[in-house]
Each structure stands twice: as C-alpha cells, then as structure tokens.
Amino acid sequence: MEKGTTTNGVVTDLDGNYTIEIPADGMLAVSYIGCKDQDIKVNGREVINVNLADDNKVLEEVVVVGYGVQKKRDVSTAVSSVKAEALANNPSTDFRQALAGKMPGVQVTVPSGDPEGSVSIRVRGVSTVNAGSDPLYVVDGVPMERGFANLNTNDIESVEVLKDASAAAIYGSRGSNGVVLVTTKKGTSDKLSVSYDGYVGVQNVSKKLDMMNAYEYAEFVKDARNNAYLSKVPGASASDPNSVRPKGYMQIATDLFPYLEGVKGLTDTDWQDAIFRTAMTTGHNISLSGKSNSVNYFVSGNYMKKEGTIIGSDFEKFGARMNLSGQHKRLKFGVNFAPSYSVSNTVDASGAGGIVQSALMMPPTFPVYNADGSYNFQGNGYWRIGTDYEHNEVMNPVAMARLQSNVTDRMSITGKAYAELELMKGLSYKLSLGGDYYGAHNDKYRQSGLPLKGKDYYDSPSNPTGYSSSSFFFNWLVENQLTYTTTINKKHNITAILVQSAQKETKKTDNVTATDYPNDYIQTVNGGTVTKGGSDKTQWSIASYLARVQYNYEGRYMLSAAIRTDGSSRFGKNNRWGYFPSASAAWRISDEKFFKNVKELSFVNDMKIRASYGVTGNFEIGNYDHLATMSTDNYILGTNGGLLHYGYKPDNIKRDDLSWEKNQMINAGIDLQMFDGYIGFSVDYYNTNTSNMLLYVPVPLLTGYSTSLQNLGKVNNRGWELALTSQHTFTNGFGYSFNANYAKNTNEVKELGPGNAPIISSGSVGHAYYITEVGKPIGNYYLLVQDGIFATEEDLKKYPHFDNTEVGDFRFVDVDGDGKLDLDKDRTICGNYMPKFTYGFGGKLWYAGFDMDFNFQGVYGNKILNLNKRYLDNMEGNTNGTKIALDRWKSPENPGSGSVNKANRKQTGYNSRTSTWHLESGSYLRLQNLSLGYTLPRALTQKFKVEKMRVYVSGQNLFTITNYSGYNPEVNARPSKNLTPGEDYGTYPLARTYMFGLNLTL
C-alpha cells in the first residue's frame, strides 16, 4: 500500500507477486500477519523485492504477575500465559474451556456437556482432601469467588496462571491451588475502532452409546429369566411356560413374546434419540475502543444463546463491559464495570434416576408416547403390576424433561475503580476499590402429569411440587498500595511495593417449598400450599499486608522477595494469622561474555535459568468450621409415645487452633529462545510439600460428635513441565506458529494423622470404595479385581470363589492369597483418576489471507469408574444394556468374549459388586478446536469503510481418540470430592459443535 493513503493498495498473488502504481518519490508500506511492518522508499525503482521478517515479540511481551506487570524476559517464576489471539474463534459459555491444552501443568476438564458450561481447573495436582482445590481467580486485580464465570471471552486481553508458590505467594493464603489472573481489554489507539464478532452454529452429542435394540433386548431378558429359573429350580427346563415358574423374576413378560418370535415392525425405541437433539448456538459481540482527551476506553456488549443437546435445556446470557483509564498530570485513574444477566433452563440429566441414565436403562420395547399422544409410563412398573415380573422401574426420560422445570436467573455485577497519584519521582500511591455482586433466583416445578417413581404410582398423577430459592453474594475489596521504582546508574532497576488489603463477603439465601397445587396453571410457590422454608446468612473476611522487592541488573540478574500476612475469619483465634514468604532468582546466562564466546552456542538467542521458593496457604474451608455451632432437629420427648418437638443440637466442635493448610514449593526452570526466535523452549521442575492438611479425626462418641477437623496431614506433589513454541514466516508469505506442552505430576500422601490410618471412602454407590493411604496418591480406587469368568465347571473348582458363584460368573483375584474370597480383605488399589501426564499441542497456519487454527488436548494413565456399567451391563436383564451383553457367557461351548458374565435375573457370585470390571482407561486425545478462516483483501474492504473482514468456519470437540466406553473421558461426576473422584454416573454428554462466524473491524 502507498503509505499515507487508504485506497491505493493491493494484495500479492499466491506466489508473492504484486503490481502497484506509486510516485517515484513515494513510500511503500508492507504488512503481513506475523511479520514486521516495513516502510520502503521507492526512489524511482520499478522492481522492489521485499523480504518478510518475523515479528518476534516473545521476549518483549508483558505478563501480569500480581500487583504489577513484568516483561516476560524478566520473569523469575513459573507463569503460563495465554493471549487474546489464542482465545479467539473458540466461543464458549465459560472462557476457561478455551484454555484447555494450552498451558503445561494446568489441567482443564469439561466433565459435563450442559449448556451452562461445566469446567474444572487443577494447577499442578491436588494437595488437599477436605479443603477446596480450585485456583484463585483475579479479574483486573479483584479476587473473585464466582463472578469470573460470566466473563466474555472477547473481552479478555490475557490470562496468566501463577503456578509456583513464589509467584502465587503474592496472594498468600489463597494461592495454594494456583492463581488465574485475567486482564480485560483497554483502549490503546487514538483512533476509534469498532469490532463485531458473531457466529451461528449447531451442536450434537459427540457420541452415542451402542445399546441393544428391542429384539436383542428381548432375547437378553429371556436368557436372564431362564438362567434364574434353572439356577433356583432343580430339574427346570428353559422351555417351561410361565405358569410353572414359581417366581416373577423367573417369568418372561408376555409382551416380549412377539419379539422372541421375530415379528417385524414392533416398537423399537431409541431412547437416546428421544432425549437428544440437534441444538442451535449463536453469539454476538460488539466493542468500541480508542482514546479521547487522555482517556482510554473499551466498551462492549455481548449476547449468547446456547441450546442444550438434551431437550428442555438451554442457556442465554447478556453482558456488557466498560473499561476506562486515563491520566491527568500526576494522577492516573480508571474504572471497570461489567454487568451480566443469564437465564438457565436445566434438566435433571445426571446421576441415578436422571434423564441420561433413565434413557439408557429404559426398555426399547416401550414407546415414548401412547396412541393418544400422552406420555407412556410403562417403564415405571407396568411389568410389576399384577404379574410382578420384578423389573426395575424407570421413569420416561422425555416426560421428565418436559414435565419438570428448573429455571435459574442470575445477575452479576463486577467493578473496580482506582486512582494512582505520583507523590514524587518514582514513588506513587494507589487506592483501589473493587466489588462483586452476584444474585441468583431459582424456580422449580414438577407437574402433576409426572407420576412418582415406582409401581405403586405407575402412571397416576402426582401431587405437584414447587420450589423457589434465592441467593445473594456481595464481595467488596479495598487496597492501598505504595510503589517505588528507581534505576541506579542505568543498570540497577528496583521496584518495591507495600500493600494493605481488606476483603469481605456476605451471602444471604432463602428458600420455600409448596405442594397441593389445584392444577398446573400457576407454577410458582404461591400457586400451592407452602410446607417448609428456610433462610441463612454467612460472612467471611480477610485482612492482608504485603511487601515485595524486585531487582534487575541489566536484564542479566533478577531477584525478587516478598512476604504476605493474612488474617482470616475462617480460622481459629489462635491461628488466625498466617505468614507467607517467597523468593525467586533468575540468571540470563546468554548475556554473559563467556557464553557469547562459545561458537557452538551461537544458535541460542536467549537462555535464562530460574529458581524460586515460596509458601502459600489454602483459604477454601467452611466459614465457621472453627466454631461450636448448633443445628436444628426433631426429637420425640415424653411417655406413651411422646410428642415431636423441634429443637437445637450441637453440630460442631470448637477448634481455636484450626489453621491454614500450607504449601512449601521449590521450583527450578530454564527458558530458551533459539534460531533467531524461531524456537522457544522451557522446562520446569517443582516439589511441593503440603503440611497442616485438614483431616476429620474420630473422637470418642461420649463427646456427642463422631469426628473433629484437625490440621494433621501431609501431602507431596512433584513433577516436570515442558513447553515448546515455534514461529516463522517464509519469504513467500506462508507462516506458521506451533506450541506443545507436557506435564507430569506425582502425588504422594506423607502423613494422615495419629497412626497414619488409611481413609476408606465410598462413592456414589456404597461399595464403590476408595482408599487414601501414606505412600500413595489421594483417592485411589479400592476394589475387587475381576479376572475373567468361570467358563467351565473345572474352572470353578480350580480357583477360589464366593460361596454362591456359578459357572458363567465373574472370577475375582484372591488378593491376600488365603485361598478364599472376602469382600473386604480382597480389595486392593487399582488405579487413580489422576493422569500420569497431560499434554497439549496446537498451532496456526496462514497464507494469502487464509488461516487455520487447531488445538489438541490429552491425558494419559488415569482410570475412570464407569458406574453406568453397574446398571446397564449388570447382566440381570431388568433394564436395557449396551451391546456388550451380546458377548456374554452363554454356555461352556459359547463363553463369549471371556470377560462378560452370564445373564441372570438373580445375580450370583457378586457380579454386580463394584470391581475392576467397572474401571476403564481414561486416556484420550481430543481435537479441542479447529477453525478455517479467510481475511478479505484490505484494498477491497476499505472501499466499504471496513478495516478488516474475516469469515471462518470452526468446530469444537470434533473427535476423541480413547478406549473409554462412556460418553466423555473427561467425566468426573464429583469434581469437588478429592477422596472419591473419577466417577461416571449418567453424566450429560459433551456436544460436538460446528459454527460459521464473521469478524469485522471498522
């Protein structure tokens, strides 16, 4: 383009050739994505060849480190950063989904596919069993408990994760699980810039389970009933009619006879298709940014609508943001303000009795609707009425989705205002006021047309139930900060800060339940009779003091030291204050003369060695765990049966010594830039020791309590992290950028209190056991070991087995080797939900206006407890199941796959006991995001006053390589339960998304 004009410009062809008319004394301006802009004097030349040069700004990038910023080249701690460009073209309900696979040591999982977004982040493993494991989120300097979830991805400038304790210790008692720093965009240019980003797309479930059809199901039920009959009745024959079979569980429902006879055209319902749908998603974002009269501004508005792939579920969000910053003489000031509003329609999708589990269990022989269009409830006990075939009762999942409502309205307002005054050269004072308001109102209603579960209710109308609740959170923050910056002899750079901070949150909740509605016309609580209600108010507060000094000598030697002290209302009066020191150092060895003189190292442009140490705490416990509290209960007092009285009982033991869990971490790392910045590499090693871990310790029952929360445990996390980057633009205009990362974390329990007694816990199913013991990771699966089946009578005689075991049942390992099986003694550690390592890689390609982005994420070496199999594949024939049943044992001559037990309505041999048969590999590699875009030539778009126009297509969750048989290998039905993680129990499946989008800049 001719410099100084907006219309005289061209785009090169695919080979880089171009033709343009410019005055002989003019200036040629050349620009290309990923390359440095160049201004070239024409000087009368007719041919000008241009060599493109990479715009390598890696070392000059600025990263946020908490209470300040640093050049990336000067950072001496372990910090991972993701910029706005890496978050683009990945629309999601929650910005954290776009971080998956992009940072080593930061595991981002999406355990559920509900449209509202379900995200879990773990930074460098898990260091606690009873306190929280989520990182601290800080948005524009304001620590937030929940308002961050409504952030608009398009408003984000950068996301930094402070991973080592030296970096995170700046946030003291709240930094043990890592710190996620989010910086939103600000206006930077004098010119007004208007941007629009919009997309529309469709979503489908990424995977369906392979269930038996109606005819396969009928044969399966017949086999299960026959085996139960043959097992219990001597001399019985599989051909005996129902009339001679003494028990209902031995009889075959007459409704199945036509299927067994092979009659064509019978009902064969795919219940997954009945609850899943093709869902629409759309989003629009518009922003204005610029600078006027020394005030930078960024204003945006956004809208998102996302239907769920399960009928009846959707999510809609409206948001806005205003960021202002400016300077007048010695005074800097700024205001950030961001309101949002959302509406979520939720369905009871997950868990036992949820829509997903019900759809999988429902017999395909039942239709969704009756002939008159009403819902069919035959699954709810039809086969148990009169004939009593003893079949599991399953509710119609379509009716569950349509006849229940669960609507949540949320309002969030986050804001910050600051003023910074330069008191003298190098010394400034900053006052910051921050706030976060969050309100949620939930209404639920169960219509009369949905019966209660069980044969006693079958398809009878139920008594409608309404429920309404409200929650309000208000969090305020006040910070005073002194900053001193000076440079001595142009070599010694010093920055020191002093900070005083105070923060408090108040939470108020209320709820009310109503029943006895005369009809379903008024579905709020005032339409029925209020039966119960409640309200609550809780608060917490924290006061903090911080000092930090950073020293930099010519960019070669970097030192940093800090101390923070926090006082929290959540801890006992004897240990309310905690002290959290940290220190770090870095040496840019590549700037030393001896390094530069080594010819063999000339390919190294920058090499920095880092080391750090820090102490952090864990703030995430209950607000009143240290206090003696009371709770309400009902008691029967008096003689002759007595009377029911309402009263109070002691609920918690007072613990004045309750204190912080503390993490002590060392970190060592190396950062490299090589081959003129084309390749970057970093490696980190860390070792974290957690002390004062909170454990529930048994106490004598005569105290009136069963356990007491005490600081007794110790845990160690250690590991390696690797990151690789590469970027280059070739002379023909083709360019690429690539990144890859790897992280390995080892978790080990060191102490568990008096006697180091192991902690044995059960999950969603009573005999799905876990164990946490010294020398092992937290939350190991503790199960019976299934080792095939007893295919023949000879096998049964050869191996130890449970007393009621028959041929065709599971064979379990005699773990303790005593020659007999025991449900408790023969359990053993069988794996863990924590992966052996995580990894991710992605990149971008561009050429002649075309671009392609891709991002992969993966984990390896973890296990998932697939409790769906306990109901779907228990071989009892009382619900539908997956096609694994077709490989079941049928006879010694037809043993099937050798790993699936026989069908039997009355299980023998503890086949349904949770064991390693329910445990599966959770390893996977997923294409998280792929986008293809084209940017129209600027010379063309400027004719329409458009600075930039890009169209693109993209897809999320396009494919997953895994051996896991369930919907989603990222699943974790109980993400907050560190002692019992990694369960899959009818969880909402992930969606595969295809979108078309448009980016405009005016």
Q: Is residue 252 classed as helix, strand or coil in its secondary structure?
A: coil
Q: Tell which phi-psi region holds residue 40, choosing left (phi > 0), alpha (psi between -120 and 50) or beta.
A: beta
From residue 66, alpha-carbon distances to 71, 480, 989 in Å are 13, 14, 37
Q: What is the pLDDT of residue 387?
A: 81
Tell how far CA 287 is from the center of its chain. 28
Q: What is the pLDDT of residue 383?
A: 87
Spatial CA neighbour of 474 closest among 442, 498, 506, 502: 506
Spatial CA neighbour of 956 closest among 4, 57, 202: 202
Q: Is residue 1000 classed as helix, strand or coil in its secondary structure?
A: strand
Asked if 692 and 661 count as a contact pair (C-beta separation under 8 A), the reply is yes
Domain range list for the chain: 1-53, 58-189
- Give the whole-angstrom CA distance, residue 486 versus residue 469: 55
Tell how far CA 976 is from the center of its chain. 11
Q: DSSP secondary structure string, 143-203?
A: EESSGGGG--GGGEEEEEEE-SHHHHGGGGGG-TT-EEEEEE-----SS-EEEEEEEEEEE
Q: What is the pLDDT of residue 7?
A: 59
Q: What is the pLDDT of residue 58?
A: 45
Sheet containing 142-144, strands listed edge to edge, beginning at the edge strand earlier in sequence: 79-83, 156-162, 179-184, 136-139, 142-144
Could you give phi then psi for residue 994, rounded to 5 degrees? -125, 130
Asked if 48 and 60 count as a contact pair (C-beta separation under 8 A), the reply is no
What is the second-level CATH architecture of the domain 58-189? Answer: Beta Complex (2.170)
| Amino acid in position 595 | F
Enclosing H/E stretch for 224: helix 214-232
Q: DSSP secondary structure string, 5-20?
A: -SS------TTS----
- Give the whole-angstrom CA distance, residue 38 versus residue 848: 18
- Give the whole-angstrom CA distance, residue 963 versus residue 207: 13
Contacts 24+ apart (CB under 8 A), 808-811: 808/227, 808/889, 808/890, 808/901, 808/902, 808/904, 809/901, 809/902, 809/908, 809/909, 809/911, 810/786, 810/901, 810/909, 810/910, 810/911, 810/915, 810/917, 811/786, 811/787
Tokens of 590: 């590549």
Tokens of 468: 């309404």
**The pTM is what?**
0.89
- Give the whole-angstrom CA distance, residue 176 versus residue 128: 10
Tokens of 523: 């579905």
Burial of residue 790 (number of CB atoms within 10 Å: 0-12, 13-18, 19+): buried
Instruction: Give exposure, 216-248, as e/b (b: 16+ Cβ within 10 Å).
Output: bbbbbbbbbbbbbbbbbeeebeeebeeeebebb
Alpha-carbon dihedral sign for residues 397, 398, 404, 408? positive
Q: What is the pLDDT of residue 489?
A: 92
Tokens 């999320």, located at residue: 956
Kindly give the parts of the chain with pLDDT less than 70: 1, 4-17, 31-37, 51-60, 89, 147, 640-641, 702
Tell how far CA 814 is from the center of its chain. 38
C-beta atoms surrounding 330 within 10 Å: 11
Q: What is the pLDDT of residue 282?
A: 96
Enclosing H/E stretch for 365: none
Asked if 288 and 176 count as a contact pair (C-beta separation under 8 A), the reply is no
For the chain, the C-alpha Rg in angstroms (whole number) is 32
Q: Tell which phi-psi region holds residue 959, choosing left (phi > 0), alpha (psi between -120 and 50) or beta.
A: beta
Q: DSSP secondary structure string, 641-695?
A: T-EEEEEEEE-----TT---EEEEEEEEEEEEEETTTTEEEEEEEEEEEEEEEEE
Asked if 991 and 97 count as a contact pair (C-beta separation under 8 A), the reply is no
Q: What is the pLDDT of residue 59?
A: 47
Spatial CA neighbour of 709 closest among 228, 300, 128: 128
- Give the whole-angstrom CA distance, residue 179 versus residue 688: 16
- Give the whole-angstrom CA distance, residue 129 versus residue 875: 35
Q: What is the pLDDT of residue 5?
A: 67
